[in-house]
Amino acid sequence: MSWEDKSNFIRFFYTRRYWGDCLNFLFDNSLGVSFWKRFILLKRLYAITFATENIPHSQQQILVFVRAILRTPRSSDGVIVEAGCFKGISSAKLSIAAALAGKEFIICDSFEGLPDNDEPHDKGIYGRPLTFNEGDY
């Protein structure tokens, strides 16, 4: 086993707090793809996670979007759009899900960060105050 494989193995166990979400995803037969395709998808999502630093989302958050993409009927018209890609980590992950769902995936970004704004923001999904400053993301 190479050092990289050992490192990824250790990081996988470090992320055990998401195991429940991963198992639920693997055994969710409502997603329209086989268990093995879900397994390979999950493995690829973790490979992207382990290859990058300072990830602005959790695997749990990505799986919410992946489930929504996979549940989109193949017969439906339309594309999957990500508005704002920051470092492109979520784009890499969501593009795999879109391909698996047979959907075109379009990424839109200004590459300039957020514009100045005075919009009021309350708390995020984790109960912490939200701030969106000019140039962020």
112's tokens:
């300039």
pLDDT value at residue 101: 95
Give 39 or 17, the one with higher predicted confidence.
39
Per the prediction, the chain carries an average pLDDT of 83
Handedness of CA 90, 85, 30, 34 (dihedral sign): negative
pLDDT at 49: 85
User: How much is the pTM?
Assistant: 0.74
